[in-house]
Amino acid sequence: MSVTYIHNIFTRSIPIIAGALQELIFWPSSIEIKKRLPIPFRVRYKNVVSIIDCLEIEIEKPSNPIYQAMTWSDYKKCNTLKFLISSTPDGMITFISGAFGGRASDKEIISQSNFLNELPNACAVMADRGFKQIDFMLAKKKLLFS
């Protein structure tokens, strides 16, 4: 098989696979999340409905210098695309953002991805230390940051 043939199969298949898997990404109710809360979470993190992190995927260096600058990641030291991913405490994926250039900060991605609009009221979000300066964004929506 030629490279072109494989490329064509891959290019046609990915949207079909993505469409089928998209149905598996949804927000369960807060009650359902609490029912499935792992035992270590139940005392200290009972209001956590979302654990977030950004995934960076290395890409080929774009030929356009503007795109090179937009996708450069100082953290990875290469050109990347970043995605915000949210899961429930028991590991169910609930949100995947669109792609952002590697230069985008976690704060920018959260504000531009509509992630905060997906969250129920009076819940908590858990994130690592890399998510600096998002606590005020969560507080504006009456959400907690763990």
Q: Note the pLDDT tens digit of each residue in 83-125.
A: 999 999 999 999 999 999 999 999 899 999 999 988 888 888 9
Asked whether the beta carbons of 8 and 78 are under 8 A apart, the reply is no
User: How far is residue 135's CA from residue 140's CA, in Å, rounded to a whole number?
Assistant: 9
Residue position matching structure tokens 């149905």: 23
**What does each C-alpha distance from 42 to 89, 92, 124, 127 come to in angstroms?**
10, 17, 13, 17
pLDDT score recorded for residue 37: 92
- The model's pTM: 0.84
User: How far is residue 91's CA from residue 105's CA, in Å, rounded to a whole number?
Assistant: 24
Residue position matching structure tokens 């969250």: 119
3-state secondary structure of 146: coil
pLDDT score recorded for residue 54: 94
Q: Note the pLDDT tens digit of each residue in 19-53.
A: 999 888 998 988 899 899 999 888 889 889 999 99
146 is written with which tokens?
Answer: 């763990």
Amino acid at 58: E
